[in-house]
């Protein structure tokens, strides 16, 4: 497959490559090369010419709460813990209903496709059947997902608090079934966070992580009240991060920890040494008054970071908005910390493409051997009124564009149509009023 257009990507943090009127050649899955002129050996082969459209890497979102898609934009007058109790837990309890879960999952996958998120890591729910259904549908969608059944056996409402033994058994069944029946969708261990998982459950999950060489995702130091709560629950363990480490839940180079705002220097060193991916969630951190991750400082320290939406703490799954919010919050952080320079847009874009793509392997850039994941972005009618540079057009898309600007979506070399068109006309399920 050969495509022609204006290509923009970030091969490394701080590098932005712009290739106008270039040719990209794939072997139908991975990039063979990006050329200013088509090499002679490819002459005569069909070329998909996207004209003046931009071609950029598709987004990778490493922190999504799949059931919370029904709650986006709701309840941000509360901080994290009351927000969970008032809005999130009642919404997640609804996924015991298989028919409701099916509708919501199809709507979610259609929505991720629409906004250009073609790879993701998601928390499902505690419900084994609903989690499996999400994995099945993700496999059919053409997207690439890491999906985990949520584990929580304490500090949760009765409708969501699991029996510890049953939680572990259900998790292991899903692990084994996914390895047998699925090809593109993988399982990721998902303890909700330390306050909701007993030592027995965390110990059991650590055993599963080692037995099956699994990745792990959870939350870390999102909110000061949460950090204090963890200290009360584990007074014998010095830090929040160390709790996960002690229970075998920081597998090297295979862990995603969301938020990670309130960390000590020692915790940062441990996270760096374990190769933990920190999912920075600027929209959620602002909406729930959690704080501002010192992203520039973390990057300088050698921490592995990405940008994520955190739906529904974040009010939109559109990663373009998380990219621009990353720039904005870094500017606010700089006002009080002049040693931490703001991130330019190109760096934030890297953290939504190549940065998180690395968790899936060679993903998120147009380099030889990389999976070809891409969005074809055309200007809006307003954007077409004035001639702009390719970078200015990227800026306008990230700050003000939407799914209407995306003309095509490629994942691992395949053109991906809307996953579930039959569900597209149905309204997204709406949660009941909080109680």
Answer whether CATH 1.10.357.10 is correct for domain 2-57+364-419: no
Residue 155 confidence (pLDDT) = 97
Residues 117, 59: Cα–Cα separation, whole Å: 5
Residue 427 confidence (pLDDT) = 60
Backbone angles phi and psi of 364, in degrees to 5: 105, 5
pTM, rounded to two decimals: 0.96
What is the enclosing helix (H) or strand (E) of 305? strand 304-307
User: pLDDT in tens for each of the 435 residues of the chain?
Assistant: 999 999 999 999 999 999 999 999 999 999 999 999 999 999 999 999 999 999 999 999 999 999 999 999 999 999 999 999 999 999 999 999 999 999 999 999 999 999 999 999 999 999 999 999 999 999 999 999 999 999 999 999 999 999 999 999 999 999 999 999 999 999 999 999 999 999 999 999 999 999 999 999 999 999 999 999 999 999 999 999 999 999 999 999 999 999 999 999 999 999 999 999 999 999 999 999 999 999 999 999 999 999 999 999 999 999 999 999 999 999 999 999 999 999 999 999 999 999 999 999 999 999 999 999 999 999 888 877 899 999 999 999 999 999 999 999 999 999 999 999 988 756 655 443 333
Q: What is the CATH number of domain 59-360?
A: 3.20.20.140
Residues 24, 5: Cα–Cα separation, whole Å: 8
Residues 328, 326: Cα–Cα separation, whole Å: 5
For the beta sheet containing 255-259, the strands, ordered from the edge strand earlier in sequence to the opposite edge, are: 216-220, 255-259, 277-280, 304-307
Tell me the per-residue pLDDT of 52-68, one tens digit each, with 9 for 90 and over. 999 999 999 999 999 99
Domain chopping of the chain, boundaries: 2-57+364-419, 59-360
As given in the structure block, the two tokens for residue 347 are: 């760096």
Greatest Cα pair distance in the chain: 69
Residues 322, 104: Cα–Cα separation, whole Å: 23
Residue 432 half-sphere exposure toward CB, CA atoms < 13 A: 10
Residue 309 confidence (pLDDT) = 98
Hey, which residues does 280 pair with through a beta bridge?
A: 307
Residue 434 confidence (pLDDT) = 33
């Amino acid at each position: 497959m050969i495509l022609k257009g204006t290509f923009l990507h970030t091969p490394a943090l701080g590098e932005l490559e712009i290739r106008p009127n270039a040719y990209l050649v794939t072997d139908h899955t991975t990039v063979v090369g990006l050329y200013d002129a088509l090499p002679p050996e490819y002459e005569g082969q069909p070329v998909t010419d996207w004209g003046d459209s931009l071609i950029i890497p598709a987004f990778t979102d490493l922190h999504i709460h799949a059931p919370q898609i029904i709650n986006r934009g709701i309840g941000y007058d509360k901080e994290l813990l009351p927000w969970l109790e008032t809005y999130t837990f009642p919404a997640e309890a609804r996924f015991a209903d298989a028919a409701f879960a099916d509708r919501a999952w199809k709507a979610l996958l259609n929505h991720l496709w629409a906004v250009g998120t073609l790879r993701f890591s998601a928390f499902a729910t505690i419900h084994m059947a609903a989690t499996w259904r999400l994995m099945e549908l993700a496999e059919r969608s053409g997207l690439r997902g890491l999906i985990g059944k949520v584990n929580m056996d304490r500090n949760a409402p009765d409708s969501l608090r699991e029996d510890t033994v049953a939680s572990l058994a259900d998790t292991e069944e899903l692990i084994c079934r996914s390895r047998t029946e699925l090809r593109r969708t993988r399982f990721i261990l998902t303890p909700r966070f330390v306050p909701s998982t007993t030592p027995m459950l965390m110990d059991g999950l650590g055993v599963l992580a080692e037995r099956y060489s699994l990745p792990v995702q959870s939350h870390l130091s999102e909110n000061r009240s949460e950090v204090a709560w963890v200290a009360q629950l584990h007074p014998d363990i010095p830090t929040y991060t160390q709790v996960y480490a002690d229970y075998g839940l920081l597998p090297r180079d295979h862990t995603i920890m969301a938020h990670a705002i309130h960390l000590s220097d020692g915790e940062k060193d441990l996270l760096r040494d374990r190769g933990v991916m920190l999912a920075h969630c600027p929209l959620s951190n602002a909406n729930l008054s959690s704080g501002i991750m010192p992203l520039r400082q973390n990057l300088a320290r050698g921490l592995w970071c990405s940008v994520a939406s955190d739906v529904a703490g974040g009010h939109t799954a559109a990663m373009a908005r998380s990219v621009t919010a990353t720039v904005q919050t870094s500017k606010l952080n700089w006002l009080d910390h002049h040693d931490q320079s703001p991130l330019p847009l190109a760096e934030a874009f890297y953290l939504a493409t190549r940065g998180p793509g690395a968790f899936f392997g060679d993903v998120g850039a147009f380099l030889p051997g990389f999976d070809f994941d891409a969005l074809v972005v055309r200007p809006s009618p307003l954007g077409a009124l004035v001639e702009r540079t390719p970078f200015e057009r990227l800026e306008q898309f990230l700050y003000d564009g939407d799914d209407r600007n995306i003309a095509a979506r490629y994942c691992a070399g395949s053109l991906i149509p809307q996953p579930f068109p039959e569900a597209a006309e149905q309204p997204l399920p709406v949660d009941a009023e909080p109680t």
